[in-house]
Chains A and B, each alone.
Chain A
């Protein structure tokens, strides 16, 4: 018995075993396992529905074809009436008024006629649209769940007071925080990668069995898809970091989730609407998150200004191109605003 109690110099703490311990702590959490299961089952279910909804051949449904042909015949009768109406409008136009403003553009038979894809399109699975959509959908679902996991990981450490216990084993707070964040980042990235691979594999199977042939895919498609998926994994890690950082600030899971809810539902929308004239959309966290992942980024409304147009004062909205890089930079600015105070607070505040 005595030998069990005799002091023995413990080796200094090393980062790798500490990281291994944190990874084990995270992956043993029931919430982590439940969220992973929800994500994977959700992906498989949605993929199954998409598979069942995809047509087996390129032949469109006969009733849709019949309706399109009926509308074309109607168009032949309706077009002369539209033309007469427009002519009448132009004839009665007061002097100085703009034709475009009062009567619209001149009717054009070909341009204005009912289009085939208004009624039906190729019912088969379109891989060129489907797979990027899968990557974005998995990213958004994964990011939401990663935020919950991050917030819950941080909150649980404070509510169970296990953070205090861990600080008695590793008093270097910044190091402990870094190791915990690294573990969270690795776990969420790995889980999101599995989810992404599952979603894309399911999409590929659907494309293979019920899709438009691969020969129609644009060149560089798979490279762009890999880029979208990779950016998606980065966004998932960022979302988890947001959750963890907020939990480290407020030291409670519920408060972290509440803070996120209030921000996303009230604050962001209030700013978006209130400052729309100043092009607020281009600076919103959610907009930039989507723009970071979306292939080629996102074009969003920018600043608005008044301009004399067509004889009147009109509000003109500029458009802003949010590239993937610019969007990432904006998201990282938001993250810094939350993560730096969280780290400072953890390293400086007394722990009970």
Chain B
């Protein structure tokens, strides 16, 4: 079952004195239940606008959206109890303590007081719970935001840049937590700029640019689709091997870490070409495309003007 669906969603921001800006231009998005789903796009590509439209904070001009199988925003109140959200920087009353901020949310949703302590413990904020939020570091606020998102024990967790402001140890903890949630029955929808983070913890990914879907699917499949087909060859007589491979029609460069052979349909072809000249490779390694490369390739030229809506 799809937990998030968006079909042909359009949203244009009209700004006084400026040309209207299409933030979402026929967006298509499907997120299946379970696991961690990454949501990527350059600045201004419409990620946050998508989340705001899904969560009823902004009104889409047209299109249809569903959360947990329910039409939104019309029927959002019926599913909102199952959706935990951390949207951009967490918003709390700065003069209240972390615990009081969570307690107010818990009271409104008829959640037991004990749940507040559980989530504070979960995000490592138990000791700072009695301090005012205005004294929190950015990372602590982010943890509090994650705690608020987890308060309801949601089926769907929507997180916008959850690692923002966290130190490396905090980032690791959050990644582990998200992975654990994804392995449990929670679907995590993670919007992030940290491509390494997404590659590390996400099962699926959706990439958008200029308010449109441009690629998506299993992370491995997206990477495979963007793979260059290059391999790296370790060999004793590198200059002669390069000569042989060039003669066989390959593009070869020697960057000191072995020979980099581009656009190789099958590694066996390279091995055979070398062996025919009595040259034997000591190792052969396909060059992996990483998400950053894939992302840059896919979104090339889609960077938006300054001041574009998110």
Contact = CB atoms under 8 A, between A and B. Distances in A.
Contacts of A7: 82, 153-155, 184-186
Nearest to A162: B91
Contacts, number: 123
A262 interface: no
A17 B108 contact: yes
A350 B52 contact: yes
Contact of A10 (B55, B58, B94, B153): B153
Contact of A156 (B76, B85, B93, B184): B93
A170 to B, nearest CB: 7
Contacts of B154: 7, 10
A167 B107 contact: no
A10 B92 contact: no
Contact of A18 (B83, B108, B152): B108
Nearest to B108: A21
Interface string A154-197: 00100011111111111110000000000000000000000000
B59 interface: yes
B22 interface: no
A17 B105 CA distance: 10
Given A9-B82, A10-B153, A28-B96, A17 B186 contact: no
B95 A29 contact: yes
B107 A21 contact: yes
A5 B110 contact: no
Interface in B174-215: 180-181, 184-186
A30 B104 CA distance: 16
Nearest to A179: B108
A11 B81 CA distance: 7
A24 interface: yes
B73 interface: yes
Interface string A2-16: 101111111111100
Given A5-B153, A172-B77, A167 B56 contact: yes
A20 B78 CA distance: 21
Contacts of A101: none
B150 interface: yes
A349 to B, nearest CB: 9
B92 A160 contact: yes
A20 B107 contact: yes
A171 B80 contact: yes
A351 interface: yes
Contact of A17 (B58, B82, B110, B122): B110
B105 A169 contact: yes
Contacts of A56: none
Contacts of A8: 153
Contacts of B76: 171
Given A156-B93, A161-B91, A350 B58 contact: yes
A25 interface: yes
Contacts of A348: 59
A167 B108 CA distance: 12
A91 interface: no
Given A21-B107, A164-B87, A165-B90, A2 B81 contact: no
A13 B81 contact: yes
B100 A28 contact: yes
Interface string A28-55: 1110000000000000000000000000
A337 interface: no
Interface residues of A, number: 41
Interface residues of B, number: 47
A13 B56 CA distance: 16
B241 to A, nearest CB: 53
Interface in A127-177: 156, 160-172
A167 B93 contact: no
Contacts of B304: none
B77 A13 contact: yes
A1 interface: yes
A17 B111 CA distance: 10
Nearest to B83: A168
A342 B267 CA distance: 68
Interface in B87-125: 87, 89-96, 100, 103-105, 107-111, 118-119, 122
Contact of B186 (A5, A11, A169): A5
B145 to A, nearest CB: 9
A139 to B, nearest CB: 29
A178 B184 CA distance: 38
A14 B110 contact: yes
Contact of B91 (A9, A14, A164, A350): A164
Contacts of A24: 103-104, 107
B260 interface: no
B148 A165 contact: yes
B153 A6 contact: yes
Nearest to A17: B110
A350 B118 contact: no
Contact of B185 (A6, A13, A30, A350): A6
B57 A350 contact: yes
Nearest to A7: B155
A12 B76 CA distance: 11
Contacts of A165: 90-92, 105, 148
A160 B104 contact: no
11 contacts: A7-B154, A9-B82, A10-B152, A12-B77, A17-B107, A17-B108, A28-B100, A164-B87, A165-B148, A171-B55, A351-B58
Interface of A: 1-2, 4-14, 17-18, 20-22, 24-25, 28-30, 156, 160-172, 348, 350-352
Given A160-B91, A171-B73, 11 more contacts: A7-B184, A13-B77, A17-B107, A17-B109, A162-B91, A162-B93, A165-B92, A166-B105, A168-B87, A170-B77, A172-B77
